[in-house]
Every structure is written in C-alpha cells, then in structure tokens.
Amino acid sequence: MALAKAKPGTINYASPGPGSAGHLTGELFKRTAGIDWVHVPYKGGGPAMTDFLGGQINVFVGVVSTAVPYVQQGRARALAVSGARRAAPLPDVPTVAESGWPEFEASTWYALVGPARLPQPIVERWHREILAALAAPEVRQALIERGYEPAPSTPAALMALLRAETAKWGPVVKALGLQSSN
C-alpha cells in the first residue's frame, strides 16, 4: 500500500473480468484505501491467475477458491481476504478489516432466485430443499474446502441482502460506467 500511494498508477491488479466480483472489490478497496492502482481485466480467474503467477500482474483480486491451491503450494501469498471473517481454507490470512481498513467488507455470495410471480408454496419447498442440501455434511465440507461458507437464510433475508448490496455496490458500478448487458 505504501508503494501504491508513493507511485500512483504503477501497481496493477488482475480480476476475472470487467464487472466481476474481483473487479468491483478491487475498485471498492481502491476507494477505501485511497490508492490509485490499475485494473487489468481478464476473461476468467484462470487466465488472471496465470499472468499473476507469471509476474505480469502485481496483485490478483478474485475468489478464494481460485487462489487457494496456489497459496497452499507456496506459489502465491495471500495478503488478505475481503469478507467479514477469515476464510476457512486460509485461517492464517487476515481480513482486509483486520489489516487496517475496519470498514471494508466485500463478499461474493450466491442465491437461488425464481420468476417474480413464483407461487409461495414453491418458494417454500425450494427453501426447505436447499436448507436440507446445505445441511448435508458432505455438501458443507465440499463447499468449505473450496473456500465457500454455506450461509443459508430466508427469502426475506435475501431481499434485505439484495437491498443492502445494491446500496453498497451501486455507486461503484455507476462510477465505473458499467451497465447490464440485458
């Protein structure tokens, strides 16, 4: 960070692509840390990681599951994770908040959504089935080993999360001039 502040625009970071979680996280961190680093978009996490490992890129900002094998092999060094908690496969790697930016948190998450007018009994059934799947020890363990943290919630909690995430990321997306391809 000292180098990024001392020599603005000379540090670059790779992401899996424009508008990806890595790109948005990198830009949010840029604003939070007050640095000027350069985004280098790739067509996926694999190509971004390849150039990072080859020394063409200074920093890789992407999902934990892409980085874990290389960190475990000693080919990459994890500096921080962007989530609210340390990642299970990288328990010794601090969060960005622990590293000096207490207000910073950026997590990727997945949700199952359906059509707007999906009947409530179907919503409830899907919810029950998803909870059952995520409670299965083998499913939980497989997700955790890959850097995902199962965090089942409710449809109402998902709506609240969507509203909060829109408020958080909307200004970043707007500042970058990103638009939906739909």
Rounded to the nearest 5 percent, the helix, strand and coil shares of the chain are 45, 5, 50
**Helices (H), ranges, the chain:** 2-6, 21-33, 45-53, 64-72, 120-135, 137-145, 155-176
Q: Is 41 exposed, middle or buried (0-12, 13-18, 19+ CB in 10 A)?
A: middle
The pLDDT of residue 181 is: 62
Long-range contacts, 50-57 (Cβ 8 Å, 24+): 51/14, 52/14, 52/76, 57/12, 57/13, 57/14
Q: Which CATH number fits domain 2-108: 3.40.630.20, 3.40.50.300, 3.40.190.10, 3.40.50.720?
A: 3.40.190.10
Close Cβ partners of 13 (under 8 Å, ≥ 6 residues apart): 26, 37, 38, 39, 40, 57, 58, 59, 60, 61
Please report the pLDDT score of residue 120 as a whole number. Answer: 93
pLDDT, block means (10 residues), the chain with 182 residues: 90 94 94 94 94 96 89 95 90 96 90 92 94 95 83 91 91 84 58
Domain boundaries, the chain: 2-108
What pLDDT does 1 receive?
A: 84
What are the structure tokens assigned to 2, written together?
């000292």
